[in-house]
C-alpha cells in the first residue's frame, strides 16, 4: 500500500460519518430537537479521528516531508489551501461545541446554530476530501521514491499506534481536572 492509500481509507470512514450527520440533520429539522450527546460524539469523531489522527498525519508527516521538496507553485498553493481548510474545520467544530453547550444549558435558539455548523461540516468535508483524493495526493506522490513513500507509510502507522494513548491520556487528564 502507498502512504496516500491509508489516508484515502480514512477518508472513507469520514465520508460515512458525514452520511450519519446528514441523516441526523434531517431528523433535527423535523423534530426541532437535537441530542447533545450525539453532537458530543460528532465532535469527538471530528476532533480525534478526522482532525488529530487524519489531519495529524497529513500536517505532521506528509506536509512536513513535502516542505523538504521543491514543490511546484500549484502544489504548494493547494497544500496551503488544505492547511487553511483544516483550520476552518477546527473553527467550525469549536463553534459547534459552543452552540451545543448553550443548547444543553437551555438556550433553544442555539439549535439553529448547531444545525448550521453540522450542515457546514457535511458540505465542507466531501469537497475537502475530493481535493485531496483526486488532486493533491496523486500530485504529491510524484515527490517521493517508492522507498520514501513506504517510510512515510511506516511513520503513519507509528503515528496511529501512539494515537490511542494520546486520546485516552487526554480523557484522563480532563477527568483529573474535573475531579481534582
pLDDT band at 163 (very low <50, low <70, confident <90, very high): confident
Query: What is the per-residue pLDDT for 169?
Result: 87
> Is the model's pLDDT at 58 over the cut of 90?
yes
Q: What is the pTM of this model?
A: 0.91
- Give the tens place of pLDDT for each residue, 18-57: 999 999 999 999 999 999 999 999 999 999 999 999 999 9
- Give the tens place of pLDDT for each residue, 67-113: 999 999 999 999 999 999 999 999 999 999 999 999 999 999 999 99
Distance CA 2, CA 95 (A): 35
The class that CATH gives domain 3-178 is mainly alpha
Report CA-CA distances (Å) from 139 to 57, 155, 167, 168, 170. 17, 20, 32, 35, 35
Query: What is the per-residue pLDDT for 39?
Result: 97
How many residues comprise the chain?
180
> Is the model's pLDDT at 165 over the cut of 90?
no
DSSP string, 64-123: HHHHTS---HHHHHHHHHHHHHHHHHHHHHHHHHHHHHHHHTT-TTHHHHHHHHHHHHHH
Query: What is the per-residue pLDDT for 88?
Result: 98
- Give the tens place of pLDDT for each residue, 2-12: 999 999 999 99
Query: What is the per-residue pLDDT for 149?
Result: 96
Amino acid at each position: 500500500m502507498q502512504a496516500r492509500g491509508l489516508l484515502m481509507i480514512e477518508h472513507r470512514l469520514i465520508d460515512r460519518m458525514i452520511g450519519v450527520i446528514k441523516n441526523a440533520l434531517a431528523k433535527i429539522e423535523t423534530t426541532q430537537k437535537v441530542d447533545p450527546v450525539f453532537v458530543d460524539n460528532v465532535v469527538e469523531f471530528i476532533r480525534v479521528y478526522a482532525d488529530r489522527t487524519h489531519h495529524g498525519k497529513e500536517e505532521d508527516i506528509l506536509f512536513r516531508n513535502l516542505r523538504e521538496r521543491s514543490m511546484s507553485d500549484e502544489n504548494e498553493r493547494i497544500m496551503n489551501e488544505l492547511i487553511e481548510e483544516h483550520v476552518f474545520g477546527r473553527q467550525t467544530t469549536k463553534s459547534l461545541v459552543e452552540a451545543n453547550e448553550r443548547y444543553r444549558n437551555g438556550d433553544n435558539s442555539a439549535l439553529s446554530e448547531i444545525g448550521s455548523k453540522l450542515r457546514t461540516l457535511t458540505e465542507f468535508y466531501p469537497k475537502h476530501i475530493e481535493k485531496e483524493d483526486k488532486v493533491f495526493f496523486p500530485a504529491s506522490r510524484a515527490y517521493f521514491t517508492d522507498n520514501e513513500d513506504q517510510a512515510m507509510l511506516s511513520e503513519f502507522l507509528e503515528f496511529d499506534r501512539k494515537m490511542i494513548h494520546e486520546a485516552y491520556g487526554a480523557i484522563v487528564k480532563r477527568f483529573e481536572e474535573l475531579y481534582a
